[in-house]
């Protein structure tokens, strides 16, 4: 593992909450996706983790980027399939209480 990647992983371990948070989020998202429940929410929850996986490999360890790219492609495919669920989130202006 490159020095920068090791330092980054070490810093995350020292926080003592980041790895359990990431693992818990991944577990929750996996269960939601497998059960086909709250899929748009699950996709929103996992996206920051996938972006960080890609960024980690681009900047710190390029050799292992392939699984992250596959997961990001699957995420983007599912987000496209559920795009109607995201339309209200992407409205430029909205009024509280009005759907």
* pLDDT of res. 18: 92
* pLDDT of res. 93: 87
* pLDDT of res. 99: 65
Which among 39, 21, 20, 19 is positioned nearest to 29, based on CA atoms?
39
Please give the chain's pLDDT, 99 residues, in tens: 788 889 998 998 999 999 999 999 999 999 999 999 999 999 999 999 999 999 999 999 999 999 999 999 999 999 999 999 999 888 888 888 876
* pLDDT of res. 94: 83
* pLDDT of res. 96: 85
What CA–CA distances, in Å, run from 1 to 4, 16, 50, 67? 8, 21, 20, 17
């Amino acid at each position: 593992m490159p020095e920068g990647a090791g330092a980054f992983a070490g810093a995350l371990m020292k926080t003592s909450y980041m790895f359990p948070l990431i693992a818990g989020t991944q577990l929750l998202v996996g269960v939601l996706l497998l059960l086909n429940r709250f899929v748009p929410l699950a996709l929103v929850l996992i996206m920051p983790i996938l972006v960080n996986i890609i960024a980690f490999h681009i900047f710190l360890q390029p050799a292992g980027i392939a699984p992250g790219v596959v997961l990001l492609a699957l995420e983007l495919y599912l987000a496209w399939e559920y795009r109607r669920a995201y339309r209200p989130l992407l409205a430029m202006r909205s009024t509280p209480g009005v759907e």
